Amino acid sequence: MARVYVHVSKKTLKIVIAICAVFLAALLAGIIVHIVNYSSYETVDAKVINVYSETHTRHSGGKTVRSSSHYAVLGYTVDGKDYTAEMQLLFSGQLSEGSTMTVRYDPANPNETEDTFFLYVMMIFSVLFIIVEIMLINSLKYAEDSSKDQFEKYKKKKIMDREKLKQLSE
């Protein structure tokens, strides 16, 4: 596999690192807000009643784009009363009918359960942004200086070379 080298100035790299850090901070803030919003929810074991998928079709730029969303219908009991909830899944096959899982529900309104789909998406993207940040910060060691810095180094080298030539010719 051939390596591809891209020359990027340190300044540009620092800007990209800052932008990624802002996105990472937003994701982490979203995770914290989610945890705070659902902190009063209680847990209960739920049984997976049904698992199904919906296919979505849209047309974009003359192309047909299909995507699928996967859902599970959960049944659970709170204070002797049965409830059902629908949960969006990250991928098909994540849960199967008849399996059990723990869900968090609002004690004031047991019909309402925690929406974990976006929490999981935010967590996945946070991990990806952390990996990207580490790679970008590590690449700062190898980044080239800006063209202005390079020009200054070139001028200094030329002056030093001239001085050495003078010394040698004397």
- Beta carbons of 34 and 90 less than 8 angstroms apart: no
Would you state the pLDDT for residue 143? 67
Would you state the pLDDT for residue 145? 56
Count other C-beta atoms under 10 Å from residue 130's C-beta.
14
Would you state the pLDDT for residue 165? 79
Would you state the pLDDT for residue 26? 95
Would you state the pLDDT for residue 10? 81
Would you state the pLDDT for residue 151? 65
- Contacting residues for 74 by C-beta, under 8 A, at least 6 apart: 46, 47, 48, 49, 84, 85, 86, 87, 101, 103, 113
| Prediction pTM value | 0.64
Mean pLDDT of residues grouped by 10 in the chain (170 residues)? 68 88 94 93 95 89 88 95 93 87 94 89 93 87 63 77 79
Q: Which two tokens stand for residue 149?
A: 């810095």
**In sequence order, what DSSP letters do the residues of 52-121 get, joined into one string?**
EEEEEEEEETTEEEEEEEEEEEEEEEETTEEEEEEEEESSTTSS-TT-EEEEEEETTEEEEE---HHHHH
Cα–Cα distance measured from residue 88 to residue 109, given in angstroms and rounded to the nearest whole number? 20
- Contacting residues for 129 by C-beta, under 8 A, at least 6 apart: 20, 23, 24, 27
Would you state the pLDDT for residue 1? 66
Would you state the pLDDT for residue 108? 94
Residues 41-113, CATH architecture: Beta Barrel (2.40)
Would you state the pLDDT for residue 77? 96
Domain boundaries, the chain: 8-38+116-148, 41-113
